[in-house]
Structure 1
């Protein structure tokens, strides 16, 4: 059974998330109302997935995400009220598996938790597209080149730019006139060289590298 830790400074939000998950047969092993208690709870309960609010008093969700991911305690899904938020970008850099809006449907929440546990991305393509639009209008003040960028081949940089633009593997294969197998190989190499977990982090890496 999937084990989840819920982190949010609002009691009603935690209670609502717990109810949805438990009705779907997902075990909620604990709750926390701030980042510091979240880090302790993750270490104690060893959940598979953490639902992490980003804006909390004291230690925020971004720093808590960084510590939980570094400890290898769980996959973290960031929770936010805004579909594009600098805190979300920072959380993805810190190692979050993706993010959800707080108005996500019950079905969407349950599906996201299960996909996160399975190691899959939990950000919808439409949201990735909005992230890229946001990045285009608000470029970073100081470039943060991803570690390992110099190791990418010209083709891998091209594929990374297309991932950053929200393209699927099928769309990349069509536009570059290569096979799906070749695209998957390029994606696997990109993730390995840049130490990326999923496509959500790849979008941030593409933005940081000023690709696309």
Structure 2
């Protein structure tokens, strides 16, 4: 008996985009229905669809049109088994949050950086998640089981936007992790001083006023989230940055911090990609047990040392004297059983 092809819905008022999306969906094994307006899409909803790709603006002369969100709303109400993907040339962080949280979109793709491969991989992920027949059903494997970590795994979430904080806390909580959510620099810094975490997820800009797509003349050091990276000791907690800032220079500078594992953009946020990144970050080789011997201050000195700073620069950064730095280094060398600064840098980078 031949299996029935999954049915897909394309909603876009641009004929060329309709054809592009139809081709990709047909190549993925779908039967495709197309609509150019909200009314046409609503009529086609009489038939269930497995997946829908919906343009945000369904009026070529009105770029402020948001009929695509109404299509998502109707799909959520009348065809809950349909995985919806919003496609737009006008993506913002707020739109991505709204489409995912309020309207139930699986993902938000931007037309200006659209690739066929990205959509095909997303479709593959959606179709592979279809329910199996009862006789083929196997126990669900949760993320913590995959990671072989227990429910005591602690994650620090630093995000001042309540919508994003809710989305991320829910995803992580459902995966079995303990989440400590913070909204400000001071609150997060206090948590870092008092507690240890297996992973941290932070937004670079902890101010809605500076939450745009680029930083302009803003230096990374002026961003509170970026400054928090200084609070993560070298060889310790990995960090996933989730930000609405897309400036390439900023991203490169962020990755220069040794503890940064990944940089995810809010405008193209995808739940499965996010959870997979969490998985990969937690699968990293943990810090050597010997680092547990170090005090909080010694870890700070060691990280600054790994950045190539001199004793004087370390002293200035930590507001201590150079003699105090020397005492810390002597203690660090003894605990790690090394004798030189170069050996300390190699140890923190996992080279020895």
TM-score bucket of the superposed structures, by smaller chain: 0.5 to 0.7
5+ long unaligned stretches in structure 2: 60-64, 131-158, 181-197, 202-239, 243-263, 265-276, 288-352
Q: TM-score, normalised by structure 2?
A: 0.37
Aligned-partner Cα distance in 1 for 2:15–2:69: 20
Indicate the structure with greater helix content.
Answer: 1
Tell me which of the two structures has the higher relative contact order, counting C-alpha pairs closer than 8 angstroms and 6 or more residues apart.
1
Could you tell me which residue of structure 2 aligns to residue 7 of structure 1? 11
1:156 aligns with 2:178: yes
Selected match of 1:38 from 36, 41, 62: 41
Q: CA, structure 1 residues 146+39, in 2 after alignment: closer, same or farther (shift >3 Å)?
A: farther
TM-score (norm 1): 0.57
| 1:19 CA drift (Å) | 2.3
* Residue 172, structure 1, aligned to residue 282, structure 2: yes
Q: Call closer, same or farther: CA 1:40–1:88 in 2, change over 3 Å.
A: farther
Alpha-carbon shift at residue 49 of structure 1 (Å): 0.3
Q: Give the Cα–Cα distance (whole angstroms) in 1 for the partners of residues 50 and 110 of structure 2.
A: 20
CA distance in 2, matches of 1:96, 1:175: 34
- Say which one has the larger Rg: 2
Superposed displacement of residue 116, structure 1: 2.2
Cα offset for 1:30? 0.7
Q: Could you tell me which of 52, 55, 59 is aligned with 1:53?
A: 55
SS in 2 for 1:61: helix
- Matches of residues 28-177 of structure 1 in structure 2 within 5 Å? 28-41=31-44, 43-57=45-59, 60-71=67-78, 72-82=80-90, 84-93=92-101, 94-102=103-111, 103-119=113-129, 143-144=162-163, 146=166, 156-158=178-180, 162=201, 165=242, 166=264, 167-172=277-282, 174=284
Kindly report the root-mean-square deviation, in angstroms, between the aligned alpha carbons of the 2 structures. 3.7
Distance 1:104 1:116 in 2: 18
CA–CA distance in 1 between the matches of 2:124 and 2:200? 28
Q: CA deviation at 1:6?
A: 0.4
